Structure 1
Amino acid sequence: MTRLTRRGFLGASALTAAGLAAGCGSSDETSGSGGSSGGKASGALDWWDHFSSFQKLNDDWAGKQSSTLGSNVTHTYYDASKAPQAFQLAHQANKMPDVYSNVIGLPLSALVSGKWVHELRLPEETMAKIPQNTLTEGITSLDKKLYGFPLFSFRQSSTLVWMNKDHLTTAGLDPDSPPTDYTGFKDACRKLASAGVKPMTLALGADGGRVRDQVDDMAQAAGFPGYQGLRFATGEYAYHDDSYVTVIEFLKELYDSKFMLPGTNNFSVVDARTRYAAGAVGIFIDGIWCAGGSKALVPTFVDKIASGPILVPTAGTDPWTYRGRPGAAYFVAADSGNPEAASKLIGSFMSEEYQQGMIAAMDQPPLNLDLVANSDAIDAYKKAVTFCKENVFLMPQAIVKNPDVAKVDASRKPITPHVGNIVQGYLGGSIKNLRNDLKKLSDASEADREQAITKAKSSGAKVSEDDYVFGDWKPGADYQPS
């Protein structure tokens, strides 16, 4: 069963994607009931999720909402690696919790038809707090009925530069003036190595899902005018574009120069972040949630954390990236015994108190980014959020242009090897002709979309390749259809 990546919350047009789930932690511990029989008992609500950084916040919030709702709310945390199977088994047994996080990996249309979800009815005051361009037909709504709640802002990145202040100072580098381009980054790595510090790590291993997302980000910052290989203006797949080649060649140079911590080629996200938080490296390329994830692993490390922007090939280049409207983070189960109270519980996540709790956890930023500046979060996290506010823009999406695209997405298939697998193969030496393999990925992606469009049309959907063409897109700005 596939799992929804962090990126899946942020504009993948509800495509099913294998990879790392949205939770950043690795704990196998659960809080709350540890796996109940679902939210069937009268006057009780069960709430399951996989957001490791929010465990204490959600445990405490369950207690507060028990009083507010007049129902006993029990929160249960599942490790991201175990949540999909646990949710699937609960669904098969008709024992789903009333409220659960989106880690299933199915497009909304499949969740509705498969009787996974109940219509979400949020109070008017909650709806008024949700920013524009957040709720979207085909992503959080279907047939004008709201099913999913988008907990996180789309203005975030999986590919920021996180540093160890002490190590950078030892190497004569200024944590407050981090490298921003490839040349500066390589120079920083050389100075760290000369000071006896292993320069860096990143999550190259596992299924390649994280490095896939990061290469997509870096390609955008390198000038690729699209998202996940798809050009905005023409609707064509172009993973073989120069921007992708430039990014992967840069990673290859870092790898061949032995700037990466030994074992990096096999590291999962948790493996890499654990090394960073333990002080084994000077630099870790990770998402905006790195501060919270590192704090959860090594609380005393927090004071050593510094952050920098996504890297660009050439100094002075705008580090712009693009994201789609946020996907659903929470659902109410189709067979919830108390869907009204479950909806109110989800609605409470939009309160200022809960969003401040999210900020304190320093994971993915909440919908209300304005709360971050005056929060108690560390400066490195605030700096990262500010960078994303200024450099992450809303992209055009076929599913927003034509909601029938959801039927295309339901027939899409994961393409392998994907970008992350190609990076793994190229760095490891099994792939010799990088551009050739990227071209194969472009062609396979085009073919898969073509078969999905044909299948969607046969079921009555009014879709075509033109739905993916946005000739009016402009770089460096939120997309507004002309």
Structure 2
Amino acid sequence: MTGLTRRGFLGASVLAVAGVATGCSSSSDNVGSAGGGGATESLDWWDHFSSFKHLNNDWAKTQSSAMKTNVAHTYYDASKATQALQLAHQANKMPDVYSNVVGLPLPALVSGKWVHEVTLPADVKSKLPKDAFTEGITQLDGKLYGFPMFSLQQSSTLVWVNKDHFKKAGLDPDNVPSDYAAFKDALNKLKSAGLQPLTLAIGADGGRIRDQVDDMAQTAGFPGYQGLQFTTGEYAYHHDAYVTVIEYLKELNDDKLIMPGSNNFGVVDARTRYASGAVAAFIDGIWCAGGSKALAPPIVDKIASGQVLVPTAGTNAWCYRGRPSAAYFVSADSKNPDAAGKLIASFMSDDYQNGMIEAMDQPPLNLDLVASSKAIDAYKKAVDFCKANVFLMPQAIVKNPAQASVDALRKPVTPHVGNIVQGYLSGSIKDLKAELKKLSDATAADRAQALQKAKASGAKVSEDDYVFSDWKPGQDYAGAK
């Protein structure tokens, strides 16, 4: 995954925004199909899932024969995928099937002619959880546009360590410290052992560190997600939990425990340092094992994992995510939308599902498949942590599907949390809480303008749609069903 917004892909975005990123290499990679005998049609398939690169290359060849259609798979590093798709859209030359990395809510994708309705066979639908399709997130006006493939129980903010480096510093890689003080102490021991302690993907557009601060704010006590408090429906990026998290990152940076240059690293840059063994610890998503293996296969035997950090020992590391968002779309430009739908449907086959798990990227909708898989123990441990600590959150769009019209009118608010972190760590921002308050106010104002326009167009929406007074921490939100 990368700094491109992957927030909605985790189904976590309050706006049901589409976008996730996994990329690890710096270039695109096109693999033509084997051109199965008798093939008379063709399909272009683009995605940004680096951990699935080889799986998808092979799958394109398999499906070329099975579907009698030439399937050409192209992998794009996530830092390049969005621009590639934007240019293709402008030229009306979109691939038939593409992964969710554009960064627009579903209503905007539909109105902007980015997507075509997806038709799935009944047997494929039966393999999906009952609530896999959600109005405004994967479907609109009852029509399916986005295909969900991944569990909501995942995280972008786990701690990944190098076993050899930890052992050299006298640390136990099977018990990665989970609270701020203990983790900082471990980093100091690594530094004393002559090792580079930690890196994060702070640079690029700031999207990855933004997502990670959102996660860590939850484990620091923020009662909501992406600045939105569940029980009040108010934006509060200036909440003490956000301040606590960002101040901790600055403390690590000021003490030179974060690798020099990390403030400019995109995900590929930071993960490359970890995968090559240049750094002992890396805060990354559940897909880190697969992404690192794609970069440097020898790292696999050295990978260990830990949970999302918490401010004090004994604190519950609870996080909250929304319903699964789309993983793939069929393009509105597709000349073969039926065949594109069949390709997407093939992703639910047992062979492909097992291939996904072994690739160790985002876990599938059915997490029970992971325990018996060939994935490494560090990945299984990360999945177990997420199963126990990531809960379904309330969402305005689930409460009132008409909120899709509001989401379509929302605009990106900058500087966002990631940009503020960049500025605060570099010293260009002095008053952290004041900047976070500006972000709260600007985000609230953007929602207000979108609500006003949606109401003027006849949508029955209200700020009350964002208020969930019955929400309780540490459990799935039953009212979201």
Task: Report if TM-score (shorter chain) is over 0.5.
Answer: yes
The residue that corresponds to 2:182 in the other structure is 184
The alpha-carbon deviation at position 96 of structure 1 amounts to 2.4
* TM-score scaled by length of structure 2: 0.95
Query: Is the 1:31–1:55 contact (alpha carbons within 8 Å) kept by the matching residues of 2?
Result: no
The residue that corresponds to 2:322 in the other structure is 324
Aligned residues: 472
Q: Which moved more, 1:280-289 or 1:108-117?
A: 108-117
The residue that corresponds to 1:133 in the other structure is 131
The residue that corresponds to 1:58 in the other structure is 56
Query: CA, structure 1 residues 4+327, in 2 after alignment: closer, same or farther (shift >3 Å)?
Result: farther
Secondary structure of the equivalent of 1:354? helix
Alignment of 1:291-440 (within 5 A): 291-440=289-438
Query: Is the 1:205–1:265 contact (alpha carbons within 8 Å) kept by the matching residues of 2?
Result: yes
Counterpart code for 1:24: G
**Aligned-pair Cα RMSD in Å:** 1.8
Query: Is the 1:4–1:102 contact (alpha carbons within 8 Å) kept by the matching residues of 2?
Result: no
Counterpart code for 2:431: N
The residue that corresponds to 2:242 in the other structure is 244
Alignment of 1:141-160 (within 5 A): 141-160=139-158
Query: Is the 1:15–1:410 contact (alpha carbons within 8 Å) kept by the matching residues of 2?
Result: no
Are residue 23 (structure 1) and residue 22 (structure 2) matched? yes
Query: Is the 1:203–1:269 contact (alpha carbons within 8 Å) kept by the matching residues of 2?
Result: yes
CA distances 1:350-369 after superposition (whole Å, capped 9, x unpaired): 12211111111111111121
The residue that corresponds to 2:36 in the other structure is none
Query: CA, structure 1 residues 14+122, in 2 after alignment: closer, same or farther (shift >3 Å)?
Result: farther
Identity of aligned residues (%): 73
Alignment of 1:205-284 (within 5 A): 205-284=203-282
The residue that corresponds to 1:6 in the other structure is 6
Query: Is the 1:14–1:107 contact (alpha carbons within 8 Å) kept by the matching residues of 2?
Result: yes
The alpha-carbon deviation at position 152 of structure 1 amounts to 1.3
Match of 1:48 among 40, 46, 49: 46
Counterpart CA distance in 2 for 1:339 and 1:69 is 13
Query: Is the 2:4–2:78 contact (alpha carbons within 8 Å) kept by the matching residues of 1?
Result: no
The alpha-carbon deviation at position 388 of structure 1 amounts to 0.6
Query: Is the 1:158–1:213 contact (alpha carbons within 8 Å) kept by the matching residues of 2?
Result: yes
Counterpart CA distance in 2 for 1:89 and 1:474 is 44
Are residue 119 (structure 1) and residue 120 (structure 2) matched? no
The residue that corresponds to 1:446 in the other structure is 444
The alpha-carbon deviation at position 165 of structure 1 amounts to 0.4
Query: Is the 1:15–1:409 contact (alpha carbons within 8 Å) kept by the matching residues of 2?
Result: yes
The residue that corresponds to 2:31 in the other structure is 32
The alpha-carbon deviation at position 459 of structure 1 amounts to 1.3
Counterpart code for 1:463: V
CA distances 1:5-61 after superposition (whole Å, capped 9, x unpaired): 2222122145558xx951231330412249xxxxxx952222122222211111111
Gaps of 5+ in 2: 34-38
Counterpart code for 1:369: L
Q: Which moved more, 1:159-168 or 1:424-433?
A: 424-433
Query: CA, structure 1 residues 136+253, in 2 after alignment: closer, same or farther (shift >3 Å)?
Result: same
Secondary structure of the equivalent of 2:479? coil
Gaps of 5+ in 1: 35-40
Counterpart code for 1:331: F
